[in-house]
Each structure stands twice: as C-alpha cells, then as structure tokens.
Amino acid sequence: MAALRALLPVVRRPLRSWPGCAALRPFASEADFKYILTEKKGKGRNVGLIRLNRPKALNALCEGLMAELNQALAAFEADPAVRAIVVTGGEKAFAAGADIKEMQNQTFQDCYSGGFLSHWDQLTRVKKPVIAAVNGYALGGGCELAMMCDIIYAGEKAQFAQPEILLGTIPGAGGTQRLTRAVGKSLAMEMVLTGDRISAQDAKQAGLVSKIFPVDTLVEEAIQCAEKIASNSKLVTAMAKESVNAGGALPRVESGEWRGHWGCFYHRRKVPNSRSQHLSA
C-alpha cells in the first residue's frame, strides 16, 4: 500500500506544473509550430491529432520537437472538448530516433546538469487516452515515444527497434523498462542487445502493437478508435487508464489494492454517467 500512496501524488500532478510547461499558451493552431502539426478530428472534433513533422530528418526527436509536442499535449489535455489524442508521424517514419546531430557535442556533464531527457516522458502523465499511429520507422527514441502512448496501432510496413547499442549506449527514455513490460524479457533483451528491428507483424504477435492496418488508412483507424473511447465517460476513462497503468507498475498484491481503491470510489460517489445503471441490471 505504501507504493500506492507514493504513486498517487505523481498521477495527480497537474500537467501545467511539469518542467517546460510553466508558460503555456492556449491551444495553438498548427501555424504556431515548426516541428509538428495539430488539429481536431472526429465528427464531434473531440480527438486531438498531433503529427510529427520533420520529414527530411525522418522525424528525429530534437529538443524543439519535443518541446512542441509537450505543449500540444498540454493544450489538448486542458481542452474540455478533446477526449482522446492521436500521435502520428509520416508514412516513412513515425520517428527514427533522437536527433544524434543535436546530441553529439554534449558532454556527460552537460547531460547530467541539464536534466537530459527529463521532459521526454511527459506524454505518460497525460490523463486522456493517447493512441500512437505508427507508420515506417519507430527506432530508438521513436520506439520509446510510441511505447509511452496507451495504444499502438501500426501500419503494415512499420518497424520497431532499440538500436542504441550500435551507437555505444543504451535506451535512455525508458525503453528498457517499457519494452520488457510490453514484449517480455527475452525478446526485449534480444532487441536491446542486438539492435535488431522487428516488423509490425512480429510486434503485434509479441504484444507491443494492438492492431495493424494498411499504411494509408492507419491514421483514420486510430482516430476512429479515439472517437469510440471519447464516447465513454470522461471520468471513468481516466480512472480505467490510471488503473491499468498502475497495475503494470505495482506488485500484484498492491495492484489489487489499487483496484479496490477505485471500487470504493464507485460505491461511495456513484459515477455520474447514465451508463452506470447497466451495472445493476
């Protein structure tokens, strides 16, 4: 139970209190960004779409792109009309990793004192469901970014890898932990130690990917899934996401206590949604 109490303050931490998000402006249109495109999609415009947009660099994750991504996520999180978010890239690459050119001149002291990659995981703190629509390469930081999302949909030609070892380093944005939880120790160890890529089909078989679609329909399928999620209770959706994530991070006994925590919440507060009546049917 102690681990549960320790986790709650992090889960409840407002998005605007995160590093780099102190001076957020209201929702920005795609014209405000250099490295990403944003728009609202769906029949009710209740799905926020974020498209990584550095095609010449295969969407390599530079600091500017990550700052804009975090800003767009925070804006969609604060927008009451948006109920779910889709993050995607281009047909050739979701994101081909971190921007090596940007990193190559940084010393260990620069990275340590500057909080290197400290703001990369802000996506995991978004309370609204986030779907990654992955076409092409999802390598290194790109694979890690996809794994930070709640659901991964992949195009038929998508490829996933953690090739950092080929550059003399290891995944630095949670890849070793998230990949192990997603596909199991053996495959995760093989991917991390060899740098080998796996196909969308292998990723689905291993549990990393939820569904596979043709390249040209992938994003629309992700938006349709987001719309379906958005049709449910906003509160219960947030509770469900939080519970699943906590269950994957806590020991089995304490994850059971977490489920009990939400069960007590339901019985004491009664979720304000007409669908709750079906539970007593």
* pLDDT value at residue 110: 54
What is the Cα–Cα distance from 190 to 56, expressed in whole angstroms?
30
| Residue ranges in the chain modelled with pLDDT below 50 | 1-31, 108, 112, 252-253, 255-256, 258-259, 262, 266-267, 274, 276-281
Residue 164 falls in the annotated catalytic set: yes
Active-site annotation holds for 141:
yes
Topology given in CATH for the domain delimited by 13-230: 2-enoyl-CoA Hydratase; Chain A, domain 1 (3.90.226)
Question: Is 68 annotated as catalytic?
Answer: no
Q: Which of 164, 221, 227, 242 is catalytic?
A: 164
Q: Given 141, 142, 155, 175, which residue is catalytic? A: 141
Q: How far is CA 127 from CA 92, 245, 250, in A?
A: 29, 11, 18
Residue-level pLDDT at 246: 86
Q: Which residues contact 233 (CB under 8 A, 6 or more apart)?
A: 271, 272, 273, 275
Catalytic residue among 77, 144, 221, 227: 144
Write down the domain spans for the chain. Answer: 13-230, 234-280
What confidence tens digit (pLDDT) does each residue in 54-104 have?
Answer: 999 999 999 899 999 999 999 999 999 999 999 999 999 999 987 666 555
Strand, coil or helix: what is 31?
A: helix
Residue 141 CA to residue 139 CA, distance in Å, equals 6
Q: What is the pLDDT of residue 208?
A: 98
Looking at residue 174, what is its pLDDT?
84
Which of these, 235, 237, 236, lies nearest to 225 by C-alpha position?
237
pTM of the model: 0.79
Contacts of 156 (CB under 8 A, 6+ apart): 200, 212, 213, 214, 215
Set 60, 75, 98, 206: catalytic member: 98
* Per-residue pLDDT, 222: 99
For residue 19, the model assigns a pLDDT of 42
Burial zone of 116 (CB within 10 Å; 0-12 exposed, 13-18 middle, 19+ buried): middle
Look at residue 121 in the predicted model and tell me its pLDDT: 79
Angle between helix axes 175-183 and 141-148 (nearest 10 degrees) is: 60
- The C-alpha atoms of residue 130 and residue 85 are separated, in whole angstroms, by 5
